[in-house]
Amino acid sequence: MMNQIIRAENYRIRKNKTFRIACIVIIGMVLVGFALFYAATHMISGELMEAAGGYDTDVDAFTDINLFDCAGIAVSLMQILSILYAIVITIMIGAEKRNGVYSLMLERGYQTRQIYMAKLYATTVIAGIGYLLYVAVSLIAGAIFWHGTIEREDVTGFIRVFLLMLVMYVVSSYIYMAVAMNVKNAGMAVAVNLIIVLLFSTVITGLDQILADGDVFLRKYWLLSAIEQFAYIDHTDTTVRETITGLIEAVGYGGLAVFIGNTVFTKKKR
């Protein structure tokens, strides 16, 4: 029975216009970000600044950037990707609830737990494809525009952070899914998820400023803030310990989100 649900989820993902639009937005977002960065580096390196006023700049300041550095630069747009996930996942689930998909599945004998696990599968696929697309476009654009020397630590560091961020992003989508599955109104679910993405991280950053004099303390323990911290760190400097800590945090948040979301969903009266 689960195989039938999975096949149905795969079909819905392929045909979903919201997901297709999200993929186009991801590609455009990365390309625009790279275009702005490329223009800025040329300005800083003197080609435009020299013409504008003759500033004393290093013309070769950015010539050694390689494609893995570019992928690292691209993750500075990661919060936008989180916002996109929160909106897309909520809209897709809201549309299915509005169209009576889950009610029809219950009438056909499917259990609520099976429905939730099927949506968990779909959410994993959507989040995974979105992130892989994001990274792939970043690497391709980086390979086209920058040709700096690639060192071994560039590759190993990138792979470590890439895999960590993949897990963290997929897991963060489980939080958005739990909200979308259990908040009746789709608009309210979107609002709650945006509050989780934007407000919680802002509040925690503010508390760090007050309680830890700006050092990273509470942000280490909130998943979305941790993602932001890893996004801005130099991937060649990321330690194995930091990577393992990030994975443990992701598994903890993911397990909690799935447990709470599934428990509430299965106990709701229908």
Give the residue from 247, 119, 222, 263 showing the smallest Cα distance to 177.
119
Q: What does residue 80 show for φ and ψ, rounded to 5 degrees?
A: -65, -40
pLDDT in tens, 62-85: 555 655 665 555 556 667 888 888
The sign of the CA dihedral 105, 106, 110, 114 is positive
- Which pLDDT score, from 0 to 100, does residue 65 have? 60
Residue type, 125: V
- How far apart are the C-alpha atoms of 186 and 87, rounded to whole Å? 10
- How far apart are the C-alpha atoms of 190 and 233, rounded to whole Å? 29
Residues 42-50: contacts with CB within 8 Å, 24+ apart?
Answer: none
- Which pLDDT score, from 0 to 100, does residue 264 have? 93
- Which pLDDT score, from 0 to 100, does residue 180 have? 94
- How far apart are the C-alpha atoms of 12 and 242, rounded to whole Å? 37
- Which pLDDT score, from 0 to 100, does residue 236 have? 47
- How far apart are the C-alpha atoms of 125 and 119, rounded to whole Å? 10
The stretches of the chain forming alpha helices (DSSP H) are 2-15, 17-44, 49-53, 67-74, 78-98, 101-107, 112-145, 152-182, 186-194, 200-211, 223-232, 240-267
Q: Which residues of the chain have pLDDT under 50?
A: 47-49, 51-59, 236
pLDDT in tens, 142-166: 777 766 566 666 676 677 777 778 8
- Which pLDDT score, from 0 to 100, does residue 63 have? 57
Query: Structure tokens of 122?
Result: 């779909």
Q: Would you kindly state where each structural domain of the chain is located, as residue ranges?
A: 2-267
Query: Is there a contact between 155 and 78 (Cβ–Cβ < 8 Å)?
Result: no
- Which pLDDT score, from 0 to 100, does residue 126 have? 94
